[in-house]
Structure 1
Amino acid sequence: MREVFRADPISPPNNQAEEGDPLFVRAAARAMHVLSAFNHASGPLSLSEIASRAGMDRSAAQRITHTLMVLGYLRRGPNDRGYLPGVRLLDRTLDVLRLDPVVQKATPVLLELRKTVRERVDLSLFDEARLIYALRMQSKRETFFATLVGHSVPLFCTAGGRAVLSALPDARVAQILEQAPLTAYTGQTLTDGDAIMARVADARADGFAVVTDEFIQGEIAIGVAIARAPGEPLGAIHVAGSLAEWSRETFVAKIAPLAIEAANAITESL
């Protein structure tokens, strides 16, 4: 089963920019590389694993890991074996969420939307070729991973993602589809660039995107973009339901107008 809760950014580390930027602090960047080593970890990482994933020698990884442990941003794993992210990272997550203007404005709107639709309602923020979940208001069917903020999903095969793509110029959409891996998450995932562009055009015309079975089997989702200005999407709201309970036609007819209304309310408040 493919991992569906973290889509990586498409921009690799820009080493030339690091070397040519007098304000760039390489030690700070290396600390972030160590924290990023846990992106796809399934458990505690050894020092050697951290060094390999962070792209540095073991000695440098040891110094940075020790520093982050002293500061509370890393901790030892069970039985004092390996390393895990530290709980103080949650302080920084709270700072992101409480200070982000989109999250601030969206929270009361999405709480009301969740009461009305009684299905999963999410807010995600735009980052390169992916969306990162910032708010998750769950229905009765959710799993552990589906309840956590910080998960990220690709733009090309998700409802919120296609809604964001529909708010971008076609040239930028084509660039994203060329750079991002078009991975098939289910047997229904569209991976042909022209077919995806056609669905993006539909979303642009309709004011929302709808996706069934492409990212999660048995799920139908509607996404509406949130944009401060034309061509500059900030993120999207999503409403997701089960195809065991909804037909595509009924879900679109009931949910799409409510999702559009909610997105408009958020946009107008920014």
Structure 2
Amino acid sequence: MSSINREKFMRTQDDPIFVQSLGRAVQVLEAFQQADGPLSLAEIASRAGITRSAAQRIVHSFRELGYMRLSADGRGFMLDLGILDLAYNYLRLNPLLRRASPILLELRRNVRERVDLSLFNGQRMVYAARMQSKREMFFATLIGNSVPTFCTSGGWAAMAMLPDDEVDELLAAADLRPLTPRTLTDPQAIRDQIALTRQNGHALAIEQILMGEVAVGVAISGADNRPLGAIHIAGSLSEWQPEEFRRRVAPLASEAANAIASS
């Protein structure tokens, strides 16, 4: 079990109305985070932090309900189509995504680069809409993929809307491991980028997540003026100088974010 999931589960231990068996079932689903393929019962139990017997019962239940299946070689288990049904209904019913969809399509037509919408979830920015460009890797196109808030253009933009004490709390709790040789991991350097974002109204991130990539991020605010998520526009450094990219796409991204927030 990841440290984040372990901490989340520990907070429920003294909650009298929390259903512990349901929590363990969710831990089994979360065991597939970052998995490279099918998982055996022993691997599921270890990742979920439960006994093998409990994992067996939960996996059997999920198989009967259509949320898990046996892998083709019979050596492990995988998530099944029922999970996609849940994801589809989340996306379909999310009011922010419903408002954003036509605006993002128009933005993608204008910038002709990858346009993403991510949702702010504390330590993570979770991609909920992805409109690809001409050069993408498989995992970079998937809904539900997430990136650390501390080192992304959208994350800097979201944190720029928060009070300094909340930013400090997020950075103190963050796993500041670099994703590229250029990923900023020094808290003060990250705070400097957040200050620039407040000044400019957008964030510019260079090779923070992927080498060769430049990205502009603009936060999407809610009615309480707190960040709901962000628009990211990403381009290739083989085609763009960073300042040229900023001048081209930042005004369009800001216009789209404002349109989503006010619609």
Report the TM-score range of the alignment, normalised by the length of the smaller protein. Answer: over 0.9
Q: Would the aligned equivalents of 2:38 and 2:78 in 1 still touch at CA under 8 Å?
A: yes
Distance 1:19 1:245 in 2: 52
Asked if residue 156 in structure 1 is aligned to residue 129 in structure 2, the reply is no
Distance 1:138 1:165 in 2: 25
Asked if residue 12 in structure 1 is aligned to residue 7 in structure 2, the reply is yes
Distance 1:9 1:20, change over 3 A: closer
The alignment partner of 1:174 has SS state of helix
1:131 pairs with one of 118, 125, 135: 125
Alignment of 1:59-78 (within 5 A): 59-78=53-72
The alignment partner of 1:257 has SS state of helix
Asked if residue 92 in structure 1 is aligned to residue 86 in structure 2, the reply is yes
Deviation readout 1:70-91 (Å, 9 max, x if unpaired): 0011100122221001111000
Look up the match of 1:179.
Answer: 173
Look up the match of 2:29.
Answer: 35
Distance 2:18 2:8 in 1: 13
Distance 1:248 1:10, change over 3 A: farther
Distance 2:128 2:216 in 1: 17
Distance 1:11 1:192, change over 3 A: farther
1:147 pairs with one of 121, 138, 141: 141
Look up the match of 1:4.
Answer: none
Alignment of 1:115-130 (within 5 A): 115-130=109-124
Distance 2:205 2:219 in 1: 14
Q: Which runs of 4+ in 1 moved over 4 A?
A: 7-11
Higher RCO, Cα 8 Å, sep 6+:
1
Distance 1:9 1:201, change over 3 A: farther
Distance 2:134 2:183 in 1: 25
Asked if residue 47 in structure 1 is aligned to residue 41 in structure 2, the reply is yes
- What is the CA distance between 1:185 and its match in structure 2? 1.2
The alignment partner of 1:106 has SS state of helix
- What is the CA distance between 1:142 and its match in structure 2? 0.7
Distance 1:261 1:214, change over 3 A: same
Look up the match of 1:3.
Answer: none
- What is the CA distance between 1:13 and its match in structure 2? 2.6
Q: Would the aligned equivalents of 2:9 and 2:23 in 1 still touch at CA under 8 Å?
A: no
Q: What is the TM-score normalised by the length of structure 1?
A: 0.94
The alignment partner of 2:81 has SS state of coil
The alignment partner of 1:141 has SS state of coil
Alignment of 1:250-269 (within 5 A): 250-269=244-263
- What is the CA distance between 1:96 and its match in structure 2? 0.9
Look up the match of 1:228.
Answer: 222
Distance 1:101 1:221 in 2: 26
CA RMSD of aligned residues (A): 1.5
Kindly provide the amino acid, as one letter, of the partner of residue 113 in structure 2.
E
Distance 2:118 2:6 in 1: 19
Deviation readout 1:51-95 (Å, 9 max, x if unpaired): 111111111111011000100111001222210011110000001
Deviation readout 1:172-202 (Å, 9 max, x if unpaired): 0111011011111111111110111011010
Distance 1:206 1:134, change over 3 A: same
Distance 1:192 1:18 in 2: 33
The alignment partner of 1:149 has SS state of coil
Distance 1:90 1:14 in 2: 24
Asked if residue 80 in structure 1 is aligned to residue 77 in structure 2, the reply is no
Distance 1:220 1:109 in 2: 22
Deviation readout 1:151-192 (Å, 9 max, x if unpaired): 000111110110001011111011101101111111111111
Distance 2:54 2:154 in 1: 40
The alignment partner of 2:120 has SS state of strand
